[in-house]
């Protein structure tokens, strides 16, 4: 068994370490141990391809995600054409290469455990 926990800790999204605002949404980041966890809120009308694509300048979202869906409905379209909806109470695992958008009038709130370190930040070429 791999022990990746350094020591006990607690953090709250009530006092995030960083807040990133973007069109029709925001990302609140906390760092706990050596990990960044993000709580993203997407308002009705939010769509990755119109709200974040202009910032990150990639064709699709290239961040992988492991998310717990707290509220709302998020529709996901993978590069291979697979489509599905994620609703409150769902856990989703999304590899890089997808678009997503809010369905309906309820904001989508997700807690993401792996994909938010560089989310909503401009990409730079190496």
What pLDDT is stored for residue 126 in this prediction? Answer: 38
Contacts of 29 (CB under 8 A, 6+ apart): 16, 17, 18, 19, 20, 36, 37, 38, 116
Q: Please state, in angstroms and rounded to a whole number, the distance separating the CA atoms of residues 61 and 48.
A: 7
Instruction: Report the alpha-carbon distance of residue 36 to residue 16 in Å, rounded.
Output: 11
3-class secondary structure, 53? helix
pLDDT digits (tens, 9 = 90+) for 59-82: 899 999 999 999 999 999 999 999
Q: For residue 13, give every residue at least 6 positions away whose Cβ sits within 8 Å of its Cβ, in sequence order, or none.
A: 28, 30, 39
Q: What pTM was estimated for this model as a whole?
A: 0.87
What is d(CA 40, CA 109) in angstroms, rounded to the nearest whole number?
6
Q: Which CATH architecture does the domain made up of 18-112 adopt?
A: Sandwich (2.60)
Domain ranges in the chain are 18-112
């Amino acid at each position: 068994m791999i022990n990746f926990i350094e020591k006990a800790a607690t953090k709250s999204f009530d006092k995030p370490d960083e807040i990133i605002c973007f069109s029709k949404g925001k990302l609140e980041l906390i760092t706990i141990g050596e990990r960044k966890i993000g709580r993203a809120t997407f308002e009705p009308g939010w769509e990755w391809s119109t709200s974040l694509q202009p910032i990150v300048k990639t064709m699709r979202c290239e961040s992988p995600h492991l998310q717990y869906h707290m509220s709302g409905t998020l529709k996901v379209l993978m590069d291979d054409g697979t489509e599905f909806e994620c609703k409150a109470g769902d856990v989703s695992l999304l590899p890089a290469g997808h678009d997503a958008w809010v369905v309906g009038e309820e904001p989508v709130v997700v807690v993401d455990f792996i994909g938010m370190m560089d989310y909503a930040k401009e990409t730079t070429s190496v």
